[in-house]
Structure 1
Amino acid sequence: MLSWEESQSISSMRRDRAWVEVDFGAIGHNIRAIKHLLSPHTDLMAVIKADAYGHGAVTVAQTALKAGAQWLGVATIPEGIELREAGITAPVQVLGATYTPEQLRAMVRWRLQPTLCTPKQALVFSESLSAADLSLPVHVKLDTGMSRLGAPWQAAAQFVQLVHRLPHLQLASVYSHLATADSPDPTMMHLQQERFERAIALIQGAGIELPRLHLANSAATLSDRALHYDMVRVGLGLYGLYPALHLRSRVDLKPALQVKARVTHVKDISAGTGVSYGHRFMADRDLRIAVIGIGYADGVPRNLSDRMQVLLRGHKVRQIGAITMDQMMIDVSRFPDLEPGEVVTLLGDDGKYSISADDWAETLGTISWEILCGFKHRLPRVAVGQPWECCESAAQS
């Protein structure tokens, strides 16, 4: 058993190299700001799959519920179990595919709600539940144009009728997912909505009452109130980033994540000296360089080598040479007094400058979702601001 002093020393050492700071006050702000866009009858699902996009699933879930979210969305059963083990009682929908009796038993045990995509899946689940004389809320997903999970929207009435007839399955919602909601051209989004509406009409024409409808992701939530229905599923917006540039004026969001690292070594090199593997960077003059303790094993993409900047003492400084597994080099020639231990900001704010996941994504030709999800867990998560404690009344609302 570690002593208190040893425990504190280890905790301190976790920030000796590099870490991720998460501002839970910003997450609460984002939830409340987005809820202002919603009608009173529209619930908000906080999507916290992939460890809440790298922000820490349990604490983000607690914060989101306290700030007004009513539902939580995860991709996998273990992600849902993690929330339940932390004492979270709010409804949790598993958005990913599940199809075996073993998975079903786990969802019953942990009160998780599955997504149904096929009649076969519905039959397997009903049979397994019948054997145990149990029931479970289920969510029917329709494919209206994403071409991923979901039953064909044209077959919605037959599928939902089957689910409705099967014992032990409780229809909790019918939903779909938008493929192009972040595009400035809404044509495909409107086509998907039209298909969704036609599917709903077919279901209602069969005499089935639908308890809940949902279609909107973060982009659709910001785009058009007509897409909100009974619930919206908010992922990226929860963490303070916009799904597209043209949506930035719709709501004031605050990025919740910053990435920081310490200077571990400082040295002077002469003109003509190569830096890092492959000498892809050659000094064109005498330079002072600093090594900082973070690399691609922590989630900084190697393809950012020689293409990124960091923030130090309120200034932008360039990264030089190949980013290595655990370290990278930066040009600190303007700071002759720099010593090991100083903090460098890779993502976040310092003085008048800011670097965001969007900046990295643009450089790499990818999306900010991938950047956020890339930070590995050897980077400790450090809370900035006051994390919300899970409130029983909020969790059960």
Structure 2
Amino acid sequence: MQTVPQGVYEPAWMEIDLDAFEFNLDAIKRHVGDKVKFMPVLKGDAYGAGAEVCAEAAVGAGVDALAVVRVREAVALRSSGVKLPILNLGFCTDLEITDLLKYNISQSVHRLDLVAKLNAVALASGKIIGVHLNVDTGMSRSGLPFRDVNDFFELIKGLKGLKLEGVFTHFHSADGEDKSFAYGQIAEFETVRAAALNAGFSQLLFHTANTAATIDIPESHFDMVRPGIGIYGLYASRHISRKLNLRQISSLRALVSNVQTLNAGCGVSYGHTYVTDRRTKIATVQAGYVDGVNRRLSNVGYALIHGQVCPIAGRVTMDQTMLELPDSTDVKVGDVATFYGSDGSETILMDDHLDIVGIAHEIQTGIAVRVPRVYLRGGEVVRIMRYSAFSTSKEG
């Protein structure tokens, strides 16, 4: 039976197991070997797990660099004391270029206008900005077209304000059952790599591997891997091997705020999409879709109370969710419901809902900032992070 962690006074909270996080980092690191650098992705506030705390743990685990997708995320990591190389994989606005210099942040590039701006600002400051070339090998989201890489390599040789540190691409289907698309991208990337070496760039970091490729496609490792969702113990699809035994680091729990017994024929929640077919105990729990209980789990998802499975009854609402209770369960107001995580011998994994929600990323990142992050080691609270619209408080 779950209890409220020490120091938590809110009706819903997210628990983050730092032991599991470090286990995942170590498992991936051992899998790729010492010759391959390891750059975990901490974008989106470490997929909602808290970038500052996760970065501290990652640095302690011996990773080589960190990746984000916003300059602001990189600045926050620097401000928290991170000294490792940080690569912004995403977009950089004109007004953020000075932050790249001030905080020593490497920037991904593919647009020539951004390259020119970066170079001009760097030259004016007397400093150099490190850049990684993003090459589009099939994602069709961002990246320099494959046909233009030779021209880029010749161009950047003459830009004294920039240092080309690496070249990368992104897989579009490495998590699919058919890996042939990924191997096709690797073949194209090998051509890019050869072009870079022929142009005289012999000290670059070449990297392609997301979590799926890191686990299942060793040919994608090159000089560095950059897993994201896997370091949090999650998988993008059912077609990724579970051979590393990664551990889900996050649990979502909330308090029961009401328990009632309804007669047969009573509708529950908006639209009465659930109607009792007998006398039924219903618990109201203080977590809704804004807190991370995805609305698509309405009438098909479930939670755990007292180690027993309790189906979601009716539509998940914004702030609350109703659960159908087993007849034999003596649930009371103040008891803890677990939407993700373990209670007794039962466990709910975010991966269990892949067929309903689509991807674990959406679940992990969908836990609202109003839900405090409770960090555990050895089952004990070591830190609590609380966010609000106006400030961030740190405790523990």
Q: TM-score with structure 2 length normalisation?
A: 0.91
CA contact (8 A) 2:288 2:321 kept: yes
Q: Please give the per-residue CA displacement for 1:76-122, whole angstroms capped at 9, x wherever unaligned.
A: 0111111111111111100102242x211011112111101122221
CA contact (8 A) 2:293 2:339 kept: no
Point out the structure with the larger helix share: 1
Mapped pair 1:120 → 2:110: no
Comparing 26-35 and 328-337, the one that deviates more: 328-337
Match of 1:22 among 6, 11, 16: 16
- Matched residue, 1:383: 375
**Alpha-carbon distance in 2 for matches of 1:340, 1:253:** 34
CA contact (8 A) 1:63 1:388 kept: no
Greater RCO, CA 8 A, separation 6+:
1
Match of 1:291 among 284, 288, 292: 284
- Matched residue, 2:80: 86
Mapped pair 1:43 → 2:40: no
CA contact (8 A) 2:310 2:326 kept: no
For residues 260-275 of structure 1, the aligned pairs below 5 Å read 260-275=253-268
Q: Which one-letter code corresponds to 1:298 in the other structure?
A: D
- Matched residue, 1:156: 149
Q: CA deviation at 1:154?
A: 2.2
For residues 89-168 of structure 1, the aligned pairs below 5 Å read 89-100=83-94, 102-168=95-161
Q: Please give the per-residue CA displacement for 1:261-307, whole angstroms capped at 9, x wherever unaligned.
A: 11111111111111112222111111111111011121212221111
In structure 2, the gaps of 5 or more residues are 1-5, 384-396
Match of 1:57 among 51, 55, 62: 51
Q: CA deviation at 1:258?
A: 0.6
CA contact (8 A) 2:137 2:189 kept: yes
Q: Which one-letter code corresponds to 2:360 in the other structure?
A: S
- Matched residue, 1:5: none
CA contact (8 A) 1:153 1:199 kept: yes
Q: CA deviation at 1:191?
A: 0.9
Comparing 217-226 and 18-27, the one that deviates more: 217-226
Q: CA deviation at 1:184?
A: 2.2
CA contact (8 A) 2:22 2:57 kept: yes
Mapped pair 1:348 → 2:344: no
Match of 1:187 among 180, 185, 200: 180
Identity of aligned residues (%): 34
Paired residue secondary structure (2:244): coil
CA contact (8 A) 1:304 1:363 kept: yes
**Alpha-carbon distance in 2 for matches of 1:335, 1:329:** 18
- Matched residue, 1:230: 223
Paired residue secondary structure (1:36): helix
Q: Please give the per-residue CA displacement for 1:118-162, whole angstroms capped at 9, x wherever unaligned.
A: 222211111111122121111111111111111012221211221
Q: Please give the per-residue CA displacement for 1:195-217, whole angstroms capped at 9, x wherever unaligned.
A: 11111112222233242111111
**Alpha-carbon distance in 2 for matches of 1:93, 1:75:** 8
Q: Which one-letter code corresponds to 1:353 in the other structure?
A: E
Paired residue secondary structure (1:215): strand
- Matched residue, 1:306: 299
Q: Please give the per-residue CA displacement for 1:207-230, whole angstroms capped at 9, x wherever unaligned.
A: 332421111111110112221111
Match of 1:371 among 360, 363, 366: 363
Q: Which one-letter code corresponds to 2:14 in the other structure?
A: V
Comparing 72-81 and 199-208, the one that deviates more: 199-208
Structure 1 22/12 Cα, relative in aligned 2: closer, same or farther at 3 Å?
closer
CA contact (8 A) 1:41 1:230 kept: yes
Q: Which one-letter code corresponds to 1:84 in the other structure?
A: R
Q: CA deviation at 1:368?
A: 0.8
Mapped pair 1:323 → 2:323: no
**Alpha-carbon distance in 2 for matches of 1:78, 1:291:** 38
Q: CA deviation at 1:247?
A: 2.8
- Matched residue, 1:34: 28
CA contact (8 A) 2:295 2:315 kept: yes
Q: CA deviation at 1:331?
A: 1.3
Q: Please give the per-residue CA displacement for 1:45-92, whole angstroms capped at 9, x wherever unaligned.
A: 110101111111111111111112111110101111111111111111
CA contact (8 A) 1:59 1:388 kept: no
Q: Please give the per-residue CA displacement for 1:22-53, whole angstroms capped at 9, x wherever unaligned.
A: 00110100010011111322110110101111
Q: Which one-letter code corresponds to 1:235 in the other structure?
A: G
Mapped pair 1:76 → 2:70: yes
Paired residue secondary structure (2:331): coil
CA contact (8 A) 1:161 1:208 kept: no
**Alpha-carbon distance in 2 for matches of 1:377, 1:266:** 27
What CA RMSD, in Å, does the superposition of the two structures yield over aligned residues? 1.8
Structure 1 349/112 Cα, relative in aligned 2: closer, same or farther at 3 Å?
same
